[in-house]
């Protein structure tokens, strides 16, 4: 279960089940940022990316979290903040649809990157 915040933010204190830190886990997450963001917003919630990254580390032993993003020039500050929060950003040029929506279409890039990194991780989280 992904911890998301509805209403006033609460502090994330980590999972109840602790991961054995003496045995380093080498799991990778490959995240479609647009699908994640739209799904969370559809529920009326707000995702705190820093807490989510910590959750992935604590709960699933995620060593690297790749966040696939449709690149929009105006979002530079967001990209910098996400990198500081521990995400590895993979950009795909964003397309502006006639409706005005911005679409990153990162699915193929996500699968390709998961295959490129295949030998470097134990388990993947998509």
pLDDT tens profile 41-94: 999 999 999 999 999 999 999 999 999 998 888 999 999 999 999 999 999 888
pLDDT of residue 108: 79
| Strand ranges for 11-106 from DSSP E | 27-32, 62-71, 87-93, 95-96, 102-103
User: Has residue 107 got a pLDDT over 70?
Assistant: yes
Asked if residue 98 belongs to a domain, the reply is yes
Across 78-87, b (16+ Cβ under 10 Å) vs e yields: ebeebeebbb
Asked if residue 116 belongs to a domain, the reply is yes
Domain total of the chain: 1
Q: What is the mean pLDDT of residues 12-26?
A: 52
Asked if residue 16 belongs to a domain, the reply is no
What predicted TM-score, i.e. pTM, was given to this entire model?
0.74
Task: Give the chain's mean pLDDT.
Answer: 80
Tokens linked to 21: 């830190």
């Amino acid at each position: 279960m992904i911890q998301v915040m509805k209403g006033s933010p609460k502090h994330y204190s980590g999972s109840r089940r602790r991961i054995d830190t003496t045995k380093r886990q080498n799991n990778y997450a490959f995240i479609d940022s647009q699908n994640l963001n739209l799904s969370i917003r559809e529920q009326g919630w707000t995702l705190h990316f820093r807490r989510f990254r910590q959750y992935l580390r604590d709960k699933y032993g995620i060593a690297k979290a790749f966040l696939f993003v449709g690149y929009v020039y105006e979002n530079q500050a967001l990209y910098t903040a996400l990198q500081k929060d521990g995400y590895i950003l993979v950009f795909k040029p964003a397309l502006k649809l006639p409706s005005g929506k911005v679409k990153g279409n990162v699915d193929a890039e996500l699968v390709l990157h998961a295959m490129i990194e295949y030998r470097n991780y134990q388990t993947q989280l998509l």
